Amino acid sequence: MTWEILVVLLLLAAATVSYMLELASVDLITLMLLVGLVLTGVLGPEEAFSGFANEIIIVLCSIFVLSGALARTGVMDRLAVWIAKNSGSSELRALAILTAVSTVTSAFLSNTTTTAVLIPTVMALCRKTGLSPGRLLMPVAFASLLGGTCTLIGTSTNLAASGMVAKLGQAPFSMFEFTALGSLIAVLGLGYLLLAAGRLLPDTRTTGEIEDFGLLHYMTELQVGEDCPWAGRSMSELELSDSGINVAQIIRAGKRMRAYSNSRIRAGDKLIVTAEPADVVRMQEIPGLSVLSDGAAPDLDDAEIRVLEAVIPPDSIFADRTLKQLDLRRRHRVSVLAVYQRGGRLAAHVRNVRMRVGDVLLLQGRLASLEP
């Protein structure tokens, strides 16, 4: 074994461990691996970076740009809304529409983007209809793989094969050269998914995600005013736990304190609480109690005010930003009443908590502001 092979194996092992432990983002780890090969002399600079000029890489980058544009301009959101409206409560019909849309879309966009956009739609549909997410999510992901076989840009594998053929002196594949065979495979695959999903996949309506979403306990921040009936009373006197409201922390004069049954609430206190959506809305009606999740109490004097839940999807501009930075009330006239983060991580100030992919926000605003 030469020293170059040993260096490559060691760098690959280090990269694999970094991927598993998520020490950094995948692209950063990969770039560091490439830099490591250059610094150790295994590859020269020209060899190491020649791949970035490859036409396959350029095409893939263009596909990702197109996918991002469709997602950020709202095209994919509109598609998701249409799916939710037309799926109904029939599991077979919902599965047929979702897998068909996933297959067609992934023929021209990346499989990852297609699946990521459809996941919130599937979860919202399951919440409204009571369908099992376990029987819809996996078929949607498989359908995106089937769609990728239908065109040249449907998957990076087809592009790589086309580039290899060109290097061997043969004519590269055309855009729709795979379509006939790929469509046949996709139709057969979709047929199998429709027939087998209900029999082979588990029903998770009682123990899976749908129960979690039905019993979401949001995290929000409350300000206790002078005229609040909670002021001067203890937790046990208010019986908040019996009402489904859990006070996790009390912030008094800038100091964080644990909340116990004998803890007495004072005017000026800020409370970090978790509660269900209905309880969050109900607390806004208590005199002297203000919801401060986005730094401003919402206006409840408008008949068109609505409350809804929104999920932060992958590649969202909300991810890794705080509510304070997003400033949704000023920019979009929407108030964030509460936040749900899986794992229940709490913070002193909810508006300073960094949003993560999969977080759910409880939003309030006028209908026009809440429309996708």
Q: What is the pTM of this model?
A: 0.50
Burial of 21 by CB count in 10 Å (0-12 exposed, 13-18 middle, 19+ buried)? exposed
Lowest mean pLDDT among 18-32, 35-49, 309-323, 336-350: 336-350
Mean pLDDT, range 98-113, rounded to an integer: 85
Query: With b meaning 16 or more CB within 10 Å and e meaning fewer, what string describes 334-353?
Result: bbbbbbbbeeeeebebbbeb
The answer to whether residue 147 scores a pLDDT higher than 70 is yes
Query: With b meaning 16 or more CB within 10 Å and e meaning fewer, what string describes 264-275?
Result: ebeeebbbbbbb
Mean pLDDT, range 237-241, rounded to an integer: 76
The answer to whether residue 218 scores a pLDDT higher than 90 is no
pLDDT tens, 151-166? Answer: 888 887 888 788 888 8
Q: What is the pLDDT of residue 276?
A: 73
Secondary structure class of 39 (helix, strand, coil): helix
Lowest mean pLDDT among 125-129, 174-178, 193-197, 224-228: 125-129
